[in-house]
């Protein structure tokens, strides 16, 4: 009875064939959401893009268009470059570590442990819900070079050579921060992977076992290929999180020692607090472009692998 007054009447279902849809909700059902989304997401985004080409700052009420000067500044200064490189290193390291450990834990808690697995899942997930400021305070204490639990433990075991200045050695600090972030984030990724593993039909494994496949064969030929869509999701999530990392760096090292752990978003925050809003938004815009390119490329690459598999 009801006929839509406007809006699209077509959609493409999973089989790829164009079909006509008669019963769709009228457009104004979404008007409120679209309005709020446009007002609070699209408009600030576009404004930010525009402002990155201006000299907007706290000290002057005038905003002048200055072309690509902010971007030229970013690419000409060692500190800005350094923050981009650190962000990329952090992202790559955390994607690798979180995926690896989350996969191992997910396999262990679905195919390995037969008892108390829900208890273990909860324990491993727990760090994900701890506020980052608490994580920062706890790990600053654990990683303290002279009085921290980690170094005390290593020295107690006679492994003095492994006791390091985890957060104050410029060669180590970024990796220490990445490890803490992995500890906190691995439970979340694990839960997603567990969900992915549990939806793989058990018949595949039974058929493989009849054909004489061992557990490695099952992992390589059934679990991983069928888990690829889930891994794509977790990798994209990790990628986006890694590229815009701020809180874990801020609470552990504040970007230091020196500029050793400075990332793009800690720099955005510092530039903003210095009142250099134009440079700050230019950095954000640059990161947005990098994130878009990386995300698109990654999804495309993983989807093509998925099809080949």
Token pair recorded at residue 31: 């008007």
User: What is d(CA 136, CA 253) in angstroms, rounded to the nearest whole number?
Assistant: 9
170 is a site residue for another protein (CB under 8 A): yes
Cα angle 263-267-272, degrees, rounded to a multiple of 5: 155
Q: Is-contact 128 155, C-beta < 8 A?
A: no
Please tell me the count of residues contacting another protein according to CB under 8 A: 31
* CB neighbourhood size of 262 (10 A): 24
187 is a site residue for another protein (CB under 8 A): no
136 is a site residue for another protein (CB under 8 A): no
Instruction: Give the range of 15-23, 55-63, 92-100, 101-109 binding another protein by CB under 8 A.
Output: 55-63
31 is a site residue for another protein (CB under 8 A): yes
User: What is d(CA 140, CA 157) in angstroms, rounded to the nearest whole number?
Assistant: 21
Residue among 152, 275, 288, 291 that touches another protein (CB under 8 A): 275
Name the residue with tokens 């692998």.
305
Residue among 66, 236, 270, 294 that touches another protein (CB under 8 A): 270
Burial state string for 237-247 with b = 16 or more CB within 10 A and e = fewer than 16: bbbebbbbbeb
Phi-psi region of 234 (alpha: psi -120 to 50; beta: other; left: phi over 0): alpha
Residue among 97, 105, 135, 167 that touches another protein (CB under 8 A): 167
Helix H or strand E segment including 35: helix 31-37
160 is a site residue for another protein (CB under 8 A): no
Residue among 98, 121, 165, 184 that touches another protein (CB under 8 A): 165
48 is a site residue for another protein (CB under 8 A): no
Beta bridge partners of 11: 19
Please report how close the Cβ of residue 57 comes to another protein at its closest, in angstroms.
4
Name the residue with tokens 């009849």.
210
Site string for another protein, 79-118 (x = CB under 8 A): ----------------------------------------
58 is a site residue for another protein (CB under 8 A): yes
Q: Is-contact 182 98, C-beta < 8 A?
A: yes
Of residues 219 through 258, those in contact with another protein by CB under 8 A are: 254-258
155 is a site residue for another protein (CB under 8 A): no
Q: Which residue's CB is nearer to another protein, number 96 or number 256?
A: 256
Instruction: Give the range of 9-17, 29-37, 224-232, 285-293 binding another protein by CB under 8 A.
Output: 29-37
Burial state string for 15-24 with b = 16 or more CB within 10 A and e = fewer than 16: eeeeeeeeee
User: What is d(CA 166, CA 151) in angstroms, rounded to the nearest whole number?
Assistant: 9
Residue among 117, 175, 183, 259 that touches another protein (CB under 8 A): 259
Helix axes 173-198, 224-243, angle to 10 degrees: 140
Residue among 38, 273, 292, 305 that touches another protein (CB under 8 A): 273
- CA neighbor of 279 nearest in space, from 80, 76, 67, 52: 52
Please report how close the Cβ of residue 65 comes to another protein at its closest, in angstroms.
16
183 is a site residue for another protein (CB under 8 A): no
Q: Which residue's CB is nearer to another protein, number 133 or number 224?
A: 133
End-to-end Cα distance, the chain = 46
Please report how close the Cβ of residue 283 comes to another protein at its closest, in angstroms.
15
Binding residues vs another protein (CB under 8 A):
5, 28, 31-32, 35, 55, 57-60, 144-146, 165, 167-168, 170, 254-260, 269-270, 272-276
């Amino acid at each position: 009875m009801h006929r839509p007054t406007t809006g699209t009447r077509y959609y493409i279902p999973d089989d790829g064939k164009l079909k006509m849809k008669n019963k769709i909700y009228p457009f104004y059902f979404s008007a409120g959401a679209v309005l709020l989304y446009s007002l609070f997401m699209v408009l600030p985004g576009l404004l930010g893009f525009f402002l990155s080409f201006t000299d907007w700052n706290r000290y002057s009420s005038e905003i002048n268009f200055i072309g690509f000067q902010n971007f030229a500044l970013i690419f000409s200064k060692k500190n800005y470059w350094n923050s981009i490189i650190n962000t990329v290193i952090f992202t790559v390291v955390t994607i690798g570590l979180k995926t690896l450990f989350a996969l191992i834990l997910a396999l262990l808690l679905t195919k390995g442990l037969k008892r108390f697995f829900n208890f273990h899942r909860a324990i491993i997930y727990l760090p994900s819900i701890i506020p980052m400021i608490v994580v920062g305070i706890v790990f600053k204490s654990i990683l303290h070079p002279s009085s921290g639990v980690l170094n005390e433990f290593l020295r107690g075991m006679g492994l003095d050579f492994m006791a390091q200045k985890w957060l104050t050695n410029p060669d180590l600090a970024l990796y220490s921060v990445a490890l803490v972030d992995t500890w906190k984030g691995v439970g979340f990724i694990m839960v997603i992977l567990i969900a992915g593993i549990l939806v793989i039909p058990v018949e595949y494994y039974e058929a493989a076992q009849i054909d004489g496949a061992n557990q490695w064969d099952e992992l390589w030929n059934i679990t991983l290929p069928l888990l690829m869509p889930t891994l794509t999701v977790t990798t994209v999530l990790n990628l986006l999180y890694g590229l815009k990392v701020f809180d874990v760096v801020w609470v552990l090292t504040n970007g230091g020692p020196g500029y050793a752990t400075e990332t793009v978003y800690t720099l955005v925050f510092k530039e903003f607090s210095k009142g250099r809003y134009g440079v700050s938004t230019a950095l954000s815009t640059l990161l947005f472009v990098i994130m878009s390119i990386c995300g698109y490329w990654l999804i495309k690459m993983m989807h093509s692998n998925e099809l080949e598999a």
